[in-house]
Amino acid sequence: MLVATKEILPSITTDFLLLEDIYCLSLCNRRLLALFRGQIKPQYYLERSAQLSFLRRLERDNPRYLACGTCLVLHSVDSISEPFELASPAHTYPPRVDCPVATFGKGLPSPFWMVRHKGFGTFSRYQLHFSHIHLAMRRFYCGPQYGISTDALSFTEVTSDFPCVDRVVSPITLFSIEAQICPTPPSLLLRIQDVMSMENTRLLLDDEDDFEPDQTYYGTLPACKHISKSFWMQNAPLNRYPTREYSTCDECNIDYETELSVNPSNGRIDAVMTSWINLGAGLNPDDPLWKINAGRMWGESDFWTEGLGYRHAGLSPRRTFEALTDTSLGDLTARNLSYLDDQRYETEMVPIPHSTPPTWALWNGAAIPW
């Protein structure tokens, strides 16, 4: 019987088991190690993807460790503590906490990074790595000692004085992001709000009938990688745009809402884009809900994403997020616009060193310098 087992088992494993399964079985005892020795390759012969799959299989049984795609080892999560700080020298948030030697942007674009565009074609300093999603969901699955809180993923950023635009218009952009975890089905949801605010140039002129809005006075706000909305901002007071629109991206199932208004307190024109995103269960970067939001840059897509929105059409990330949060959309919008009143962001946020254009940020645990 033992001889038959030795002959049959390798054939079964070769035909039906993944390579990482064979590696895990070989670690169980010396007999299995000897049995599978002919099917086990030295580490330097394996592709990175195979090594990483094996490490992810090991981390499932020990949540105190995290498989690192940079070093291809298991890092301990015991040293991770909150609140976080901005990562230097890039001054990005949240910092990489999964790997002690990782640097921001290595390999961008890649399936491990989610990078957000802002108005005027710029990028936010908020750079989300898959490990952040993985650790937040691990806290949900295994307990608070094994991951990070959703509060650690919250961030607000204000940028002003774009050099490519007339300073008289004083454009200001605000970006904010929050996270919630849906228990059923397990998934991490984001609510992202982009705000663009400009001076109403018509109020600065003696005869507004002679005013023709310059083509640089526009705002483009992203909903997702597939959809963005552009506004000729100085036409907003003429009611040439709907004040509020709702829709869903058919490719990635992101819900979004746009709102265009004139601020009654200061006369500025405000365009607000709010997006709700489901990033999936956080178990693997190959999860389609994560993958469609990561990696490729603006406007690019993969054929495998076709129909993703329709497959998840019954799961509205907006309805799910709003049912979980204590901060309503109206309260969020009012709070973000209040930062722009009388430039309150300069006293209530942390200035980003050496930022061009000038940028301020606020995150959980941020230390205001005054």
d(CA 331, CA 52): 42
Q: Token pair for residue 201?
A: 């140039």
Same domain? 16 vs 129: no
| 194 contacts 173 by C-beta, under 8 angstroms | yes
Question: Considering the entire predicted model, what is its pTM?
Answer: 0.84
Domain assignment present for residue 188? The answer is yes
Which of 67, 92, 118 terminates a domain? The answer is 67
d(CA 271, CA 282): 32
Q: Token pair for residue 95?
A: 């910092």
| 274 contacts 260 by C-beta, under 8 angstroms | no
Write out the H or E segment, with its range, that includes residue 179.
Answer: strand 172-183
Q: Report the pLDDT value the prediction gives residue 160, as an integer from 0 to 100.
A: 83
pLDDT digits (tens), the chain, 370 positions: 444 455 566 666 556 667 777 777 777 777 776 776 666 555 545 677 778 888 888 888 888 999 887 888 898 988 888 989 887 767 889 988 888 776 655 444 467 788 776 655 567 889 899 999 999 999 999 999 999 999 999 999 999 865 555 555 668 899 999 999 999 999 999 999 999 888 777 766 655 555 555 545 667 788 888 888 887 776 666 666 667 889 999 888 899 999 888 888 888 888 899 999 999 999 988 899 998 888 654 444 454 455 554 455 567 999 999 999 999 999 999 999 999 988 899 999 999 988 888 899 999 988 776 5
Which of 67, 86, 113 terminates a domain? The answer is 67
d(CA 214, CA 232): 9
Domain assignment present for residue 273? The answer is yes
Same domain? 62 vs 84: no
* Cross-strand bridge partners of residue 222: 228
Same domain? 15 vs 108: no
Same domain? 304 vs 230: yes
**DSSP state letter for 343:** G
Q: Token pair for residue 240?
A: 């040439």
* Cross-strand bridge partners of residue 2: none
Q: Report the pLDDT value the prediction gives residue 280, as an integer from 0 to 100.
A: 95
Same domain? 40 vs 83: no
Contacting residues for 321 by C-beta, under 8 A, at least 6 apart: 180, 182, 189, 190, 191, 276
Same domain? 32 vs 177: no
Write out the H or E segment, with its range, that includes residue 346.
Answer: helix 345-348
Same domain? 50 vs 158: no
Range of the domain at 25: 2-67
Task: Give the amino acid at 62.
Answer: N
Q: Token pair for residue 245?
A: 């629109």
Contacting residues for 100 by C-beta, under 8 A, at least 6 apart: 75
Q: Report the pLDDT value the prediction gives residue 304, as an integer from 0 to 100.
A: 43
Same domain? 121 vs 207: yes
d(CA 191, CA 116): 13
Domain assignment present for residue 368? The answer is no
Q: Report the pLDDT value the prediction gives residue 138, as an integer from 0 to 100.
A: 95
Domain assignment present for residue 72? The answer is no
d(CA 309, CA 298): 18
Same domain? 30 vs 167: no
Domain assignment present for residue 320? The answer is yes
Same domain? 105 vs 158: yes
Q: Which value, in Å, is the radius of gyration of the alpha carbons in the chain?
A: 24
- Closest to 108 in 3D by CA, of 297, 340, 349, 346: 297
Domain count, the chain: 2
Same domain? 161 vs 54: no
Q: Report the pLDDT value the prediction gives residue 230, as an integer from 0 to 100.
A: 80
Same domain? 243 vs 355: yes
d(CA 13, CA 210): 79
Q: Report the pLDDT value the prediction gives residue 310, as an integer from 0 to 100.
A: 46
Q: Report the pLDDT value the prediction gives residue 336, as an integer from 0 to 100.
A: 96
Which of 46, 67, 88 terminates a domain? The answer is 67
Domain assignment present for residue 73? The answer is no
